[in-house]
Structure 1
């Protein structure tokens, strides 16, 4: 199999598993609070990743610890708000709204790279915003 074909297959697998997490999380949240659920998830990740850090030979400095703490606060805040919203809506709506970060990349990317967005980026952003409108209005 060609390298490009492998990349497409792997991307498809990522999308399938990512999409499957929303209904699974919706079912899990029927018995747990979003904060407890995310605390549990991040604690398991911490337990698994700390020994791997040593195996990979990664050094933990004061600067990297501080930067990781700041990024971790934003990441955990995003996860808590996302799972909290999942309690009040359907899994498909939550997945769609979450996937709109792609639209944010279409907006922020050209600003950071100082270039004009392509017509396809503008079209994709417009379609996603229309979809969001239909999902969020009664």
Structure 2
């Protein structure tokens, strides 16, 4: 298989698995608290990663620990807002709103770098927001779960 074809197949698999996580999590959250669910997920990940850290010989410095804690706060905020929002909104709306972090990164990145976002970055975010508007038309509305999921997108972007 050509390298380019393999890349496309792998990208397709990532999209499929990423998309499937939303309805699966929605079903799981019918019986669990979002905070408990995330605590359980990340506790298992921590238990798996601790031995791997030693095997890989990774050294933790104060700088990397501080940076990791800051990134971890944004990441955990994203997951908590996402799973909490899934309790109040549909899986499809949650997936779309969460994916808005891509457009937010295109705007936040240049601001952090102290430069003006390009026309195309602003246009891309505008198109995404128009899509969000159509997704949350007056029939379905923008509910509390959508707001929580929007906070998730901001956390992931940061």
TM-score class, shorter-chain normalisation, is: 0.7 to 0.9
Q: 1:135 Cα shift?
A: 2.1
Give the equivalent residue in structure 2 for 1:42: 42
CA distance in 2, matches of 1:40, 1:136: 32
Task: State the Cα deviation string for residues 52-100 of structure 1 (Å, max 9, x = none).
Answer: 1111110122332222122212211111011101100000000000001
**Number of residue pairs the alignment of both structures matches:** 137
CA distance in 2, matches of 1:118, 1:8: 28
Gaps spanning 5+ residues in structure 2: where? 139-158
Greater RCO, CA 8 A, separation 6+: 2
Pairing 1:15-30 to 2, within 5 Å after superposition:
15-30=15-30
CA distance in 2, matches of 1:135, 1:43: 35
Q: Does 1:12 align with 2:19?
A: no
Aligned CA distance change for structure 1 residues 124 and 116 (closer, same or farther; 3 Å): closer
Q: 1:124 Cα shift?
A: 3.4
Gaps spanning 5+ residues in structure 1: where? none
Give the equivalent residue in structure 1 for 2:106: 106
Give the equivalent residue in structure 1 for 2:118: 117
CA distance in 2, matches of 1:52, 1:113: 37
Pairing 1:36-115 to 2, within 5 Å after superposition:
36-111=36-111, 112=113, 114=115
Q: Contact 2:107 / 2:117 at 8 angstroms: preserved in 1?
A: no
Pairing 1:127-138 to 2, within 5 Å after superposition:
127-138=127-138
Query: Would you identify which runs of 4 or more consecutive aligned residues in structure 1 move more than 6 Å?
Result: none
- TM-score normalised according to structure 2 size: 0.77
